[in-house]
Structure 1
Amino acid sequence: MVTELPVDLERLCVDFSRHLRLERNLSEHTVRAYRGDVTSLLAHVAAGGGTDVTALTVRTLRSWLAVQHGAGAGRATLARRAASARALTAWAQATGLITQDPGPRLSAPSPRRRLPVVLRPADAEVALSAAASGAEQADPVALRDHAVVEMLYATGVRVAELCALDLGDVDRRARLLRVMGKGGRERAVPFGLPAARALEAWLAGGREHLLTSASSAALFLGVRGGRINQRSVRRVVHEVLRAAPGVPDTGPHGLRHSAATHLLEGGADLRSVQELLGHATLSTTQFYTHVTVERLKAIHDRTHPRS
């Protein structure tokens, strides 16, 4: 197994990562994912005797995916790695490192999109009411947890977007969040009165008790005073939902799915939901229409006398 890349391939990986970070303005999480895939590809190139970018042929790309498949990689993983390879070769051609891009000739199985766990509106009400009851004790962490789950469900923001919020990103009078999404795209997201009340309670009676010199302007704080991290938010959501009787367990992304589905079921148009969720393309938002159709089918099968 190759543990170190040849100098030219290592430089290629570094330059590509810089391109993703500075020119495409991708998040560090996304850059790490791309870099991991590309490093695996370039290690495969080196293992086959390649030393520079000219070894990135369609045959090499296909053999790399075949090795991944043989090692047990699933459809979603293969699709993601193929996309990373195509991004690398497209960039290499655009920058003049290669004259012909082999990426478009590389195919991979499409990932199967599973229907997400979506709470019923009644389930969401039960879970959020339970979180509100816990916050009645005025414990700072309980106040924070209530505000976190309320904001996630009210806005449908991604967990990373929630963690990145600063105090200045909240317009409390207009009940709007200023959210920096994927690709550096900024959007305004409204939230309702229940979320506003939970947020006010956290800011008035909770946040000051967790403040430290490391807190900066972060809206939500961890127990040690720093900005709350994604792992902590996931734990909070799971704990809140597990404590609510009969409510399916899901994570922050499940609350995002639920918010989108409930908006569509309530009559919101697809374009508006796309804007709220920060999707770059309408096709991503259209996936939620499949969710609502599946729910309608399930209700029909359960309730119609001739289903």
Structure 2
Amino acid sequence: MSSPSANAPRALLAGRVLAFAGIVLVAFSMRAAVAGLSPLIPEISKTYELNTAAIALLGAIAPLSFAAGGIFTPRIEKRIGIERTLILALVLMITGHIVRAISVNWQTLALGTLAALVGMGFANVAMPPAVRKYFPDKVSTMTAIYMSVMSISAFLPALIAVPVAEVVTWRGSLLQWAFFAIIALIPWILEFRSHRKDTSYDAPESSPQVQKIHPWRSPTAWSVGLVLAVSSITGYAMYAWMPVILIDIAGVTPAQSGALLALFAGIGLPLAFVTPGLAKRMGKHVHWLVTISSVFFLVGYLGLLFA
């Protein structure tokens, strides 16, 4: 397999099929633990008790795990390299999915959820450097591909969680995602075992020096951080609570609640293609997009409260 370090443009898969498969398969595994659990809560509650505090804890694990990924992954990646970081992330995902599937109480369910989501947090941070290393001439294309696949991985688990559980029980529905993570692990093991000796990402020599900045002193950094924090908390709150709320107040079935959660997750896919171009056109007025988004959040929440 040829070195991916060449900067000259070439065919997308030329000499890097394993890396392409690995990136796409990891992307497909990166939201399953978040989206595939909450539609199953009514079924899991028939096996052992899941009270309000337990459901709240399960919902809180996701943003905390992704925050931990942002803090620790760069250090881990620098020490052991991109390939081994992704292997570690996938092993954590697989372990978490298995522990959740065999859980006997909400504590073991939470432990498995923590392992799976920490792995996803690691993968979330490691993916951009992996793209830069293996596809330096196709960064935009590969980013669009893996982001699209990641969007699919957000709505598909919610959509099929209950139908699969009706066939193979809720344990089988949770366990299925371990098999996808195992498949994603194979290309990265092969990639690591290949002739490649460079296990860490080295920026091209032509890369400009990054100027040291102080984000804590930047109003823009605070604004962007606040918007991202609120949107993330809102998203993960919906992943944790939307199916339960809909079953409780709207009289929908668990399968219907999963489909509605899938709609919530899937709407981000077309918007991901439209919003960047729209933001670029709006220029200095881009803050109106944040305002409009906030209004949509408000209307949605009021609808859930009063409809």
TM range (shorter): under 0.3
TM-score, L = length of structure 2: 0.23
TM-score, L = length of structure 1: 0.23
Relative contact order (C-alpha < 8 Å, sep 6+): which is higher? 2
Q: In proportion to residue count, which structure has more helix? A: 2
